[in-house]
Chain A
Amino acid sequence: MWDSFYAIFKISLKAIFANKMRAALTSLGIVIGVSAVITMLAVGSGAQKSVTDSVARFGTNILFLRQPWDLDESISSPKDVTMDDVYAIRQVDGVAAAAPYITTSFDVKYSNTSVALSVLATDPDIFLTYDWPIESGREFTQREVDDYAQVIVLGASAAQTIFSDVDPLNKTVVLDNIPFKVVGVVKKTGQSGMGFDMDEGALIPYTTGKVKMNAGWNSSDRRALDRVVIKVADFNTIENTKVDIQNTVRNTHRIHPLGKDDFQLDDFASFIEQAKTMGKTMSLLLGAIGAVSLIVGGIGVMNIMLVSVTERTREIGIRMAIGATSWDIRMQFLVESVTLSCIGGLIGIVLGVIITMVVAANSSIPAELSISAVLLSVGFSAATGIFFGFYPAYKASKLTPIDALRYE
């Protein structure tokens, strides 16, 4: 039995190699399809991972308080988020730290160098909310904040760009014509994408930024902040803490018990969920694009198998005359199409892995190979061979020996 199956397999291989050019072109469809599926799925899951990673690095126990961008029009006199809110929130049970958050872009000048940096105006609590350890020098102090001190803490890459080999500590840089003394440099965090990119940024006291440089959005209230960053002590009780913060802010904003909130609290746990769902949708979409090309490749296999059956009608007749059953004939053509698809599939996997690695190494598109995507493609290409090979094989097996033998 296995002897015979092996013999039929050899017959199929022979038929494939008898027409190398045709086999190569047919397989090419599958090669492209499979490598597309692998690459697309890798890009999809890579994007998904990079989004969730950057959110996760933010910390899932971080909350943002800010005025909504699409503020409800029924709120007559919305109040800005200010330091009053920061002070109040710091008193809430379960809050570990709360820091003001105002971002602006400034040209930072040192001797002949001028670099545009995003500058975060904040206070020392920022170091309690984010994981931004100091590499050299120090954080700025509450005292410096209170004194409107012109001090700056630089991100690792920013310091490197501005000072290259010079030690930045105690040097003076100029932002918006105001001199700042560099008091510290933050360790490289490697975080990019979402949120504030510390490596490429700088930190200054919010008082200095707000009053001396008019940073942040244009508001009638000179004390307005972009946001408040809040770190919750325990992620498990984040929902309760959120409610407490909400009540506290309603209180400082003097909102009527029946009035609507003029602020919003963003919670990143739900954002991660959203990002994951988005990532899945994207993976599915990209996978579908790959799958379409695989189906097109499969149709190519079917097409060539139909041609092959027609061309070899006489051969089928001979085989039937000497004792091949319909099953034998069906197997022969099915094995042929599955072999074609699998050869294409294997080359496609190699190509897909190479493309993915090249994409991941040479572009900002994150790509992550997954074993499941590879296995899926293998299964898919074999299934393509069976599915698209079935009809031609069935057609071959339905020939009657006498009609097949008479075929010219």
Chain B
Amino acid sequence: MALIDTRDLYKIYTLGDVEVKALNGVSVSIEKGEFVAVMGPSGSGKSTFMNILGCLDKPTHGKYILDGIDVTATDLSQLAGVRNRKIGFVFQGFNLIKRTTAIENVELPMIYNHTPAHLRHEKAMEALKAVGLESRAQHLPNQLSGGQQQRVAIARSLVCDAPIIFADEPTGNLDTKMSIEVMELFTRLNKEMGKTIILITHEPDIAEYASRLIKFKDGEKISDEVK
């Protein structure tokens, strides 16, 4: 069975009298271990799609099965646990918590699943090692470069052993050199750790790192090709 399976997802917003279909019947199936890039112009529905896949939002209609769990039938409040165990997020703006050291940021997801303190520290250090930042554990986000901050965010997405990483424009705020670093890290996580990676981008160069490319336009999937 596919790790991610969506059938006829619709997301409809009502703005006054106008109905906007952000998603118009999208069906996608992603297997474990895939590295998928999702592309499309802004307003194409790719972000809405990602938010639903990431259990941050719910579709208006349609079905979404994540690792055997019917997410559409689960209450939004109970999705916190699903996000914690199944999904790691990497955002464009890094989204680290201010005034909180790198290692504390990485430990955060484990606080919410009640991992004992000593284990938390150990696993956070391991994750920081995996992204090559163990020496920066005690630095605050504003003492790190953009690339380093994004790597801390990646470490945070790894720390709960979630099988899936959603990366929403992870290189959008990075220069080319740092972008390459980060993308190589994703490739390694996909190849060596078997993480399923779903990447949103509008840069073709970045999408090149993925092994499958899904394109969106006007709320619909217009192409889906495996390289």
Contacts and interface: CB of A to CB of B under 8 A. Distances in A.
A401 B112 contact: no
Contacts of B91: 405
Interface stretch (B61-69, B78-86, B130-138, B169-177): B78-86
A7 B97 contact: no
Contacts of A197: none
A395 to B, nearest CB: 15
A77 interface: no
B97 A315 contact: yes
Given A402-B51, A402-B56, A322 B76 contact: no
A328 interface: yes
A402 to B, nearest CB: 4
Interface in A16-46: 18
B114 A400 contact: no
Given A321-B54, A323-B84, A400 B112 contact: no
Contact of B57 (A1, A7, A402): A402
B142 interface: no
Interface in A284-340: 314-315, 317-326, 328
Contact of B116 (A3, A317, A321, A400): A3
B184 to A, nearest CB: 24
Contact of A405 (B56, B81, B112): B56
B211 interface: no
A326 B77 CA distance: 7
Contact of B111 (A4, A14, A315, A405): A4
A323 B83 contact: yes
Q: Size band of the B side of the interface?
A: 20 to 34
A3 B80 contact: no
B138 to A, nearest CB: 15
Contacts of B97: 315, 318-319
A319 B108 CA distance: 8
A4 B56 contact: no
A255 interface: no
Given A14-B100, A319-B108, A4 B160 contact: no
A8 interface: yes
Interface string B96-136: 11111000000111011111110010000000000000000
Contact of B80 (A18, A317, A320): A320
A400 B51 CA distance: 12
Contacts of B83: 320-323, 401
B145 interface: no
B6 to A, nearest CB: 17
A324 B99 contact: no
A316 to B, nearest CB: 10
B10 interface: no
Contact of A322 (B57, B77, B84, B120): B84
B83 to A, nearest CB: 5
A320 B84 CA distance: 9
Contacts of A405: 56, 91, 95
A18 B96 CA distance: 16
B156 interface: yes
B29 to A, nearest CB: 23
B99 A322 contact: no
Contacts of B120: 3
| Most chain A CB inside 10 Å of its own CB: which residue of B97, B116, B160 | B97
Contact of B81 (A8, A11, A18, A323): A323
Given A321-B83, A325-B81, 20 more contacts: A1-B114, A4-B112, A6-B117, A18-B99, A317-B95, A318-B96, A318-B97, A319-B97, A321-B54, A322-B84, A322-B156, A323-B80, A323-B81, A323-B85, A323-B112, A323-B113, A325-B77, A325-B112, A326-B80, A400-B57
5 contacts: A3-B114, A319-B112, A320-B56, A323-B113, A402-B57
